[in-house]
Structure 1
């Protein structure tokens, strides 16, 4: 089993266009008072900067760091990396934009030893894409992942079967893959700081303190046990996006623009996947991180961004989030919003040759002809966006709109 992980992926993709910044602290993030670090160079990490950290704090820790905005090339390089991996083995499980597991069991008959394959993959990625990566090889996913983490940056680490405990035992328990801060703290309270100490306790004791699932998981980790196979297909259960406003807002125009941007992206992703949504979930967050969600079942499945936008805005009004101001002359949010999100759920494969978005969902939302026009327009725009970029053509209402940051997300389950 091999685990391949691109090193500071977002940073190194940006460095392809800014080679003069090599060896300097770099942070990739959207600028804004609520932005978080998407990626940091190892020079910035030396100052304590890490992914997910508020950008404001990262700037204090590494004041000399160059802040680079996110661009749109990451998908291209991610796909190129996965193609290189699939040249070596068909059993590739992509777990994120910049990492994957590769089952090399059958590949060694043609490609040579696991080490030879890993070296060839890393050389191809460096030569063809000019990007560094790290790899770990061992007998299962867990150990391969831990080995690749230990080999960073730009390294290769092999953990053979007879050296598993030698590799794991000195490791702090908080470094174990899947052990979060809370679990590590609880283990420390019992005097368990290393894997060697964790291995002294049997499954019954661990299950008694951490519950059956977590206890058995810890017992297996301490012994390097992991029976999960590589899964080559992942079926999406939902897909969606969230937009965090630069400042808490009650402005309806800002809220509607954010929802429209989310909805159009969501529609493109649904159509690209050949899927329709049977339900939408609206997520909204007030100041103080008070968060709520509302699920909306649909009478007909949709894949149109404009339909999603209209349904979401109607839901916001029906829920009382958007209300008339005291003078009754204009609308405003009932409370200032920090975040708005839309998630498409109950995904199903779009019937061949049928565009579900052509049918009216609400008599007040326009007739079938209007919906058919939007369906044709959006499908035509898909080709332009694929050839150029998602920003090549946008509604006039979204031109120049950057009042915050939008984050795409998806939920998947595995299918063997």
Structure 2
């Protein structure tokens, strides 16, 4: 599948209408809103997200660009309100991702948040996050976001080592990470920093330096993801031509273990395989909702949504997205209704990644039969299984999470 490609799925109605069964328990479940901002100043060589530079879109005069994006997003929110109807709950979490959301003016991000508030309402204590490039925020823009209702900012640090950032084609000034984090904290925002490990040419000491730099910032939350070489990206082409050495599993395993050691030692507790937080209150509730399989509406080009077992995805290109909304049509390209088997598989896949683990009672027969072997192999904490009946991964199990899931789902 080419980068950022969307699956085929079934035709999605132009009205965006959902089956009645999908809306049946809407009132009793949480609702999140994801907003995808598809703009970047440059395309990083490793990235396969649905993003576009202004040059790729035709410059400032493009049919949809930075200046007109908020209005297009509001039109999709109008559609969401009409489709979900009066039974829609107030929104519990909002996450603005990308791309680089903070390429938009802070006032436009607040405008979109106001649109969510006006159409659905925000639950008391709602979590509202935006991702940010360290070079694309100022103390003033962060103040405007905080005053407009944002509660959290996720800063794309990736690394503290200049040669690693160059390999990743990240253009930010490493010194600006500290400035962005300090400014966000000063405005009362919770802060997460995002890291990537396994970049070609990154040594274990380089990675330690990045971890220690992240900890020194004293953020509320840290995400650390292994670099994946995605087909169709510039990095994949470099690997294929032998210009860059691909990440090695053993190296990434060593770096994951180091991340867990350093972060745990600094007072961060893992709550999902790639995420650590200072406290339960600092965990990203929006992402937890994804892993728990609750409902969310994805706004923006290429954004995915899930409501009541129906999953759909929008057309990818910003111009096509804007054109559909301007003509009164849903931007959904296609959708699928998840079968009971798919929902079970996803429950196992996602539930095992969380620190709370998966109730053994949720497993079907073959899955339950696999638990003893997983304990014997040191992949699952046997004491937790006995005491609470929940399957929780050990550190080794987190390294081999895909293997654990495969064994639990094997027929």
TM-score for both structures, normalised by structure 1: 0.22
Q: Which structure has the higher relative contact order (CA within 8 Å, separation 6+)? A: 2
Please say which structure displays the higher CA radius of gyration.
Answer: 1
- From the two aligned structures, give the one with the greater strand fraction: 1
TM-score for both structures, normalised by structure 2: 0.22
